[in-house]
């Protein structure tokens, strides 16, 4: 049971924050390319999902899974995108991502006068609180399942 990594994108596609806890295999491309790839994929899959949905769509794309991991997606009304990869034992990380947004991002970045004029996530306070929060999650353990 574990969290592998977390990305935070702003509404223009810039990756504001990335951290990994338990990633055994890298993508084999540079970090910038990886962020672009992730954002591009999310953009395409969201528009695909809304076009092909056989019913009226409520929240759209939420997550996908492979045989080894699950990717969870949460988008705020302000266009901020939270992407978290966990292993398969975590079925719904939406509340976690919402908590990261409202209690960590809003409190420590938006309300930080130094950080909020240009959304840069340099704040050490944010990094350390986020790290502590992820490690305290009931489904986190340092070793992947």
Partner 1 sequence: MHKQKYRVHPRKQSTSYVVANNNLTGMADDALFEFLHMEIVSHIYKEQQSGKGEMDNKDRAVCVSVLEGMGFRVGQGLIERLTRDSPSFKDELDIMKFICKDFWTKVFRRQVDNLRTNHQGTYVLQDNKFSMLTQLSSGKQYLDQAPKYLAFSCGVVRGALSNLGMESVVTAEVSVMPSCKFQVVIQKL
Q: Extract the tokens encoding 105.
A: 């991002």
Site size toward partner 1 (CB under 8 A) is 25
**Is 75:81 a contact under the CB 8 Å cutoff?**
yes
Minimum distance, C-beta of residue 102 to partner 1, in the bound complex (Å): 5
Q: Under the criterion CB under 8 A, does residue 60 sit at the interface with partner 1? A: no
Q: Applying CB under 8 A, which of residues 10, 107, 119, 141 lies at the interface with partner 1?
A: 107
Give the H or E element holding residue 134: helix 124-136
Nearer to partner 1, 138 or 142 (CB): 138
Rule CB under 8 A: which of 109-138 touch partner 1?
111-114, 116-117, 122-125, 128, 133, 136-138
Q: Extract the tokens encoding 97.
A: 């991502």
**Residue 11 CB neighbours (<10 A):** 12
Task: Give me the DSSP letters along 27-43.
Answer: -SS-HHHHHHHHHHHHH
Q: Which residues bind partner 1 (CB under 8 A)?
A: 94-96, 98-99, 102-103, 106-108, 111-114, 116-117, 122-125, 128, 133, 136-138
């Amino acid at each position: 049971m574990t969290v592998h990594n977390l990305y935070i994108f702003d509404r223009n596609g810039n990756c504001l924050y990335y951290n990994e806890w338990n990633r055994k295999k890298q993508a084999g491309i540079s970090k910038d390319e990886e962020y672009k790839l992730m954002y591009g994929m999310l953009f395409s899959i969201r528009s695909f999902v809304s076009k092909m949905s056989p019913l009226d769509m409520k929240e759209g794309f939420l997550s996908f899974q492979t045989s080894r991991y699950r990717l969870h997606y949460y988008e705020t009304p302000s266009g901020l995108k939270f992407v978290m990869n966990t292993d398969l034992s975590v079925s719904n990380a939406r509340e976690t991502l919402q908590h990261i947004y409202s209690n960590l991002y809003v409190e420590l970045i938006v309300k930080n006068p130094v950080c909020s004029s240009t959304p840069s996530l340099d704040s050490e306070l944010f990094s350390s609180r986020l790290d502590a929060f992820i490690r305290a999650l009931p489904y986190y353990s340092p070793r992947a399942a």
